[in-house]
Amino acid sequence: MGFSATGGTAGEGGRPACGTNCTADAAASSNKYVAMGSSFAAGPMIPDTVPGQSCGRSTHNYPHLVAAEVGLDLTDVSCIGATIDNITDTPQSMNPLQIGAVTPDVRVITITIGGNDVNYSASLVACGRDGMNGKSCLVASPDAAAPDVDSAAIDILLDQVENKLVAMLGRVKQAAPAARIYLVAYPMILPDPAVPCPPDVPMQAADATFLAQVGSRLQAAFSSAATTAGVNFVDVYGASHEHDACAPADQRWVEGQANPAVAPYHPNAAGMSAEADLIVTAIQKSAL
């Protein structure tokens, strides 16, 4: 596959006048691919771990699989715990801004980010842990001042995440005006309708319902932000229906908390492979 190049226009002395066309030419003639995002892009605990980094990146996360399939030169800066701000404004501990990897000649960019901005993963883990103890994460224990998961605070954060995504995507487009940008959604983690399924998802029914709504609202924010920002949207959420953490083991794209070999409430190897297929298809379609 390949992208079509955009020709430059002639300037003084017959030399091409650089600008948008030259940027497009540079991107079209390169194979540079930058993958940004959080653990849902990094693929923690999926064999094998990329050496020399502390971000949980796997050699079989979707960025590596896409790069191998399409023939792209990958720079993977995804990192566990990353937020939208870690892409454009706030370095994540010792890791530089992820947007720093983006140059004008980058050809493809994928991004999965936003869940940590609304405490999605942390809430899934907290609710699962509390469910194992017969408690709700949304209700304070008699000996606690507050519940383990603050649903009101998460509601506020969810109201903000779309605008944050749009602003971040705008900055990425400025950094690589000719790149194909793909906003990759989170997979469906809990079943629809949301029900617990111990031991994989042992949380209380009301907690599962709330967290499924968080996932649905994130999906809506992703879809709308992609449209507003004018980037490609990869609908992993819709495609992963019936591949959630309660699905039969051979059909799951994500795991709950019963499998110690996989990060809890995160994609497994099969999920990463399925996501890669969706992204490759999107790349091939947008390059026509």
pLDDT digits (tens, 9 = 90+) for 152-176: 999 999 999 999 999 999 999 999 9
Both tokens of residue 181?
């940008």
pLDDT score of 30: 80
121-164 pLDDT, tens digit per residue, is 999 999 999 999 999 999 998 888 899 999 999 999 999 999 99
Percent of the chain's residues with pLDDT above 90: 87
pLDDT at 234 over 50: yes
Interval 174-228: pLDDT, tens: 999 999 999 999 999 999 999 999 999 999 999 999 999 999 999 999 999 999 9
For residue 82, is pLDDT > 50? yes
Q: Report residue 70's pLDDT band, with 50, 70 and 90 as the boundaries.
A: very high
Rounded distance, CA 112 to CA 110, Å? 7
How large is the average pLDDT for residues 10-19? Answer: 46
Structural contact between residues 37 and 115, judged by C-beta atoms closer than 8 angstroms: no
d(Cα 3, Cα 205) in Å, to the nearest integer? 48
Closest listed residue to residue 185, CA positions, set 254, 96, 284, 86: 254
CA gap 209, 215 in Å, rounded: 10
pLDDT value at residue 11 = 43
pLDDT at 9 over 50: no
Supply 270's token pair. 């099969």
* Percent of the residues in the chain that have a pLDDT greater than 70, as a whole number: 90
The two three-digit tokens of residue 243, written as one number: 């591949």
Q: What is the CATH number of domain 31-286?
A: 3.40.50.1110
Helices (H), the chain: 20-28, 39-42, 62-70, 85-88, 120-132, 151-175, 205-229, 236-239, 269-286
Q: What is the pLDDT of residue 25?
A: 63
Q: Is the pLDDT confidence value at 68 over 80?
A: yes
Cβ pair 140, 147 in contact under 8 A: yes
| pTM reported for the whole predicted model | 0.90
Q: Rounded to whole angstroms, how far apart are CA atoms 7 and 4? A: 10
Beta-strand relationship, 108-112 and 232-234: unpaired
